[in-house]
Amino acid sequence: METLHQLMQQSVGVGAGMALGSAVGFGIRKHRNGTGEGLIGGSVFVTSAVCGMVAMGAMMFLIWLGIF
């Protein structure tokens, strides 16, 4: 269980950065298009949170493999 916590602590920056960056990008895209097409539930927040979680999970996996 401690390994999981350590992996999460090492990967949280990647997840937060990806969530913040995708929130800005998806927000601009939604503002320009005027629709929530292509977003999960039409929500910028939910879509960017999912992107952040996926990025964090991928980073945790790469750290666990020893690549980073």
Question: In this predicted structure, what is the pLDDT of residue 1?
Answer: 64
Cα–Cα distance between 52 and 20 in angstroms, integer?
A: 8
Would residue 58 count as lying in a domain?
Answer: yes
Q: What is the pLDDT along the chain (68 residues), one digit of tens a residue?
A: 678 899 999 999 999 999 999 999 999 999 998 888 889 998 999 999 999 999 999 999 999 999 87
Q: pTM of the prediction? A: 0.86
Would residue 2 count as lying in a domain?
Answer: no
> What ranges make up the beta strands (E) of the chain?
none
Q: Which domain holds residue 18?
A: 14-30+40-68
Would residue 4 count as lying in a domain?
Answer: no
- Please count the structural domains in the chain: 1
22-53 b/e (C-beta count within 10 Å ≥ 16 → b): bbeebeebbeeeeeeeebeeeebeebbbebbe
